[in-house]
Homo-oligomer: A and B are copies of this chain.
């Protein structure tokens, strides 16, 4: 069981969304941030760098958006949907773009791994957004 889940299970206040779903989303977002950081470095090691520029830029944005989103939703007290919702929407948008671009390079193992991380993160954020309605 991830630390995110263990910490949410120990939470004493009210959490307005399902704890298992929230923990899974935090984990998916954190994993995606890490995958994008590593994929950026792997992209920079490729021969045809011109082909990788868009992928690198998207991975950099994805890392930053995911890092902020994971942190904010890890603080369920004083949960503010006016902050969490647009953040999760930004996360969905960048994970979609980054996942699509990585999929174009899915013959490169690092981009294949990063595609999976982005898809899982996008899906988890969509589900959390749906649950917040």
Query: Is the C-beta of A132 less than 8 angstroms from some C-beta in chain B?
Result: no
Is B94 a contact partner of A90 (Cβ separation < 8 A)?
no
- With a CB–CB cut-off of 8 A, which chain B residues contact A50? 49
Taken together, the copies of this chain in the complex come to 4
Who on chain B is nearest to A93 by CB? B82
With A68-B67, A87-B65, A87-B87 as known contacts, state yes or no: A110 contacts B38, CB within 8 Å.
no
Interface size class of A (residues with CB under 8 A): 35 or more
Least CB distance, A117 to chain B, in whole angstroms: 5
Least CB distance, A62 to chain B, in whole angstroms: 9
- With a CB–CB cut-off of 8 A, which chain B residues contact A6? 109, 113
Is B87 a contact partner of A10 (Cβ separation < 8 A)?
no
Who on chain B is nearest to A40 by CB? B60
Is A3 a contact partner of B31 (Cβ separation < 8 A)?
yes
